[in-house]
Homo-oligomer: A and B are copies of this chain.
Amino acid sequence: MSKPTTSAAFGFEIPAELTELADRIGAFVRNEIIPYENDPRWGAHGPSDELRRELNALARKAGVFAPHSPEEFGGLGLGHLGRAASFIAAGYSMLGPIALHCAAPDEGNIHLLEIVATPEQRERYLKPLASGEVRSCFCMTEPAPGAGSDPRQLATVARRDGDDFVISGQKWLITGAYGAAFAIIMARIEGGEGDGKATMFLSPMDAPGIVIERALDSLDSSFTGGHAVMRFDGLRVPASAVLGQPGQGLRYAQVRLAPARLTHCMRWLGSAMRAHDVAADYARTRTAFGKTLAEHEGISFMLADNLMDIHTARLTIWHAAWLLDRGEQGGNESSMAKVICSEAIYRVVDRSLQVLGGLGVTRDAIVERIFRDVRSFRIYDGPSEVHRWALGQRIAKGELSY
């Protein structure tokens, strides 16, 4: 017989404690969260904060709250593979990540603050955020001609004024702004250290000069607080409000984005599994033309394709999470994971909706709601085209291969 080549260094066996946690989260979501999916407090602009707090309480009680938050702040303190296991399980209901407090943008903001914040910022901003006391928002994207896919077009400026900065500019599609306690703001410094470069700032949302202009109606509906159009109207912040170093905003954005993209993949992979289950269950019972839908190959092939897309998405997530846990930046891998997963997840949900037929386009099945989210995911955190462009450029320069 041949020698097995599995060594300690190679394997796909999820550690037992993570499997157990994922099972616990899975059961929690099925039993305690899914019943809330018809709650009227989950509206077109996402679940209300009241609903969110109610779900947070359930998660805390079940011992599954905030898998990614530091233990000192009441979280489980898990790394990227641990997040993969937990967030996929949580995503089985789009309210699951709300309950576990691991939804965007808070989850990514916690990650960023944990790495970059000063002790004071940590105490003032990270602690209440990581513990789920408050929510936050991340103010980067701007209306044309400002920063959309290209962060170098950043138009919001932070003018130095003595030791302070005065921030002015417009922001657009700011997730969770309504109801957030504080904001991380990306702006271009004018004058002094970091002059002309993107920089991150922290500010309470109730500071004078922060104006939420209006809510945006959007295709997706799972983010607490929805998406907003905002304006900084001479927002004055002290030097201590700079997050990290002046002029390092783009670098921090990458620190935040690489894992943030991946946690999006995790959560929505869970949603795709849900959509598949709903479709497969329906296909096994609904009849047409003399047999169940699932007995029609035209349908069963679609369900088989679902499994294959889920399989490759999951492997891709595991691989990238493993890289990040090793301390690698994983920029290319997280870019690839974003494209691979967002497109595979989308196909799964699109097929599931199609299998459901008329039922699929109504809110009588949860798939319609998932579909609207995962379609948006092909755009959030960099449309597929931006990642293909970045990967392609590196290949063109001979810097990147398989």
A395 at the interface (CB under 8 A from B): yes
Q: Which of A24-32, A160-168, A354-362 contacts B (4 or more CB under 8 A)?
A: A354-362
Among residues of B, the one whose C-beta sits closest to the C-beta of A313 is B312
Collect the chain B residues with CB atoms within 8 Å of residue A251's CB.
none
Collect the chain B residues with CB atoms within 8 Å of residue A364's CB.
216
Collect the chain B residues with CB atoms within 8 Å of residue A304's CB.
387-389, 391-392, 395
A70 at the interface (CB under 8 A from B): yes
**Complex interface residues of chain A between 36 and 83 (CB less than 8 A to chain B):** 44, 68, 70, 77-82
Query: Are B9 and A310 interface neighbours, CB within 8 A?
Result: no
Interface string of A275-298 (1 = CB under 8 A from B): 011001001111111001011111
Among residues of B, the one whose C-beta sits closest to the C-beta of A384 is B354
Query: Are B396 and A379 interface neighbours, CB within 8 A?
Result: no
Q: Which of A97-105, A148-156, A230-238 contacts B (4 or more CB under 8 A)?
A: A148-156
Among residues of B, the one whose C-beta sits closest to the C-beta of A1 is B114
Q: Identify A68's interface contact among B2, B288, B325, CB under 8 A.
A: B2
**Complex interface residues of chain A between 246 and 293 (CB less than 8 A to chain B):** 273, 276-277, 280, 283-289, 292
Query: Are B10 and A15 interface neighbours, CB within 8 A?
Result: yes
Task: Looking at the assembled complex, report how far the CB atom of A99 sits from the nearest CB atom of chain B, in whole angstroms.
Answer: 20
Query: Are A379 and B358 interface neighbours, CB within 8 A?
Result: yes
Query: Are B354 and A300 interface neighbours, CB within 8 A?
Result: no
Tell me, in angstroms, the Cα distance from A217 to B12 when the chains sit together: 42
Query: Are A300 and B389 interface neighbours, CB within 8 A?
Result: yes
Query: Are A3 and B148 interface neighbours, CB within 8 A?
Result: no
Tell me, in angstroms, the Cα distance from A227 to B362 when the chains sit together: 9
Provide the main secondary structure of the chain A interface.
Answer: helix
Stoichiometry, as copies per complex, reads: 4
Task: Looking at the assembled complex, report how far the CB atom of A229 sits from the nearest CB atom of chain B, in whole angstroms.
Answer: 9
Query: Are B325 and A4 interface neighbours, CB within 8 A?
Result: yes
A195 at the interface (CB under 8 A from B): no
Tell me, in angstroms, the Cα distance from A299 to B36 when the chains sit together: 40
Query: Which one of A6, A85, A360, A364 has the highest number of Cβ atoms from chain B below 10 Å of its Cβ?
Result: A6
Task: Looking at the assembled complex, report how far the CB atom of A260 sits from the nearest CB atom of chain B, in whole angstroms.
Answer: 14
Tell me, in angstroms, the Cα distance from A218 to B368 when the chains sit together: 8
Query: Are A294 and B396 interface neighbours, CB within 8 A?
Result: yes
Collect the chain B residues with CB atoms within 8 Å of residue A386's CB.
288
Query: Are B296 and A389 interface neighbours, CB within 8 A?
Result: yes
Interface string of A299-337 (1 = CB under 8 A from B): 111011111101110111011001101100000000010
Query: Are B395 and A280 interface neighbours, CB within 8 A?
Result: yes
Task: Looking at the assembled complex, report how far the CB atom of A269 sits from the nearest CB atom of chain B, in whole angstroms.
Answer: 9
A245 at the interface (CB under 8 A from B): no
Task: Looking at the assembled complex, report how far the CB atom of A266 sits from the nearest CB atom of chain B, in whole angstroms.
Answer: 13
Q: Identify A354's interface contact among B81, B85, B383, CB under 8 A.
A: B383
Q: Which of A117-125, A183-191, A370-378 contacts B (4 or more CB under 8 A)?
A: A370-378
Collect the chain B residues with CB atoms within 8 Å of residue A106's CB.
none
Tell me, in angstroms, the Cα distance from A368 to B386 when the chains sit together: 20
Task: Supply 26 A–B pairs (Cβ within 8 Å), ascending by A.
Answer: A2-B114, A5-B18, A6-B322, A8-B11, A10-B12, A11-B322, A12-B322, A141-B358, A145-B287, A148-B288, A150-B288, A220-B361, A296-B297, A297-B301, A297-B388, A303-B395, A304-B389, A307-B402, A308-B339, A308-B340, A308-B391, A311-B402, A312-B312, A312-B340, A360-B379, A372-B372
